[in-house]
Amino acid sequence: MSEMEAKAITGRERLAVLKRGRRALPSILAADFARLGDEVRPLVLAGVEVLHVDVMDGHFVPNISLGPPIVRSLRAVTDAFLDTHLMISEPLRYFESFVKAGSDLLTLHAETGVSPVDARAEADRLGIGLGVAIKPKTDVDEVVEAWAEYSDLILIMSVEPGFGGQSYIPEAEARLARTRDLCRARGVDPILEVDGGIDSETVSSAVEGGAEWLVAGSAIFRQDDPLAAWLYLESGPVAP
């Protein structure tokens, strides 16, 4: 896909043609930014269709990561779908900047207090997918009730957001399953994503809970063989 073709197709349209089901999303937060193109190209050539981008503002979470310029640089080296997780205090203020940089789907946190109606309206105006993220201590029932009908994706955090390399919180499996069941009861079917501590040992728990999109950073980019690590998370065995 050429750069011109990528711009002509909206993020929402690209999302609509992505096959549903299990997939591992390499999180570029764990990549070497000085070699970003070299880090992601082999994965995309091997079959990675979705890359995950973590954005932190140092206010909503106690860390600062990256902004639209890095997304723009990433878009320049790949036509992969860019799933962008905004861990920031005023997400709607920055939606357009990230879309112009190349993001296809933007996920904001329910804890920011943004109206789901307003978020959906802005996402529709910009032609992108919309996700909502839920911290480990936030009640999933309340968030699903408010957001399910407006969201293309629901992200269950399996660590406290803010830093990469944390350990998976086992309770995430039950929270994933609860979110899945609540959505089914409401007649909606958003993509269920999990982020935090996903590796070869925890991936089974997340998949059993119902996660489709499995975000992994260190478990891919910081392995001796990132491609093999990604492939295992993408399609490896799940414990019975």
38 is catalytic: no
195 is catalytic: yes
For residue 176, give the nearest of 212, 200, 122 by alpha carbon: 212
Catalytic residue among 32, 54, 118, 141: 54
Sheet holding 105-109: strands in order across?
Answer: 23-26, 213-216, 191-195, 153-157, 129-134, 105-109, 81-87, 50-56
CA atoms within 13 A on the CB side of 222: 11
Dist CA 131 CA 160 (whole Å): 18
Whether the CB-CB separation of 51 and 31 falls below 8 Å is answered with no
Dist CA 70 CA 98 (whole Å): 10
Catalytic residue among 83, 104, 152, 195: 195
Whether the CB-CB separation of 108 and 84 falls below 8 Å is answered with no
Strand partners, 56: 87
Per-residue three-class SS string for 138-200: CCHHHHHHHHHHHCCEEEEECCCCCCCCCCCCCCHHHHHHHHHHHHHHHCCCCEEEEECCCCC
For residue 158, give the nearest of 239, 219, 104 by alpha carbon: 219
Catalytic positions are 54, 195
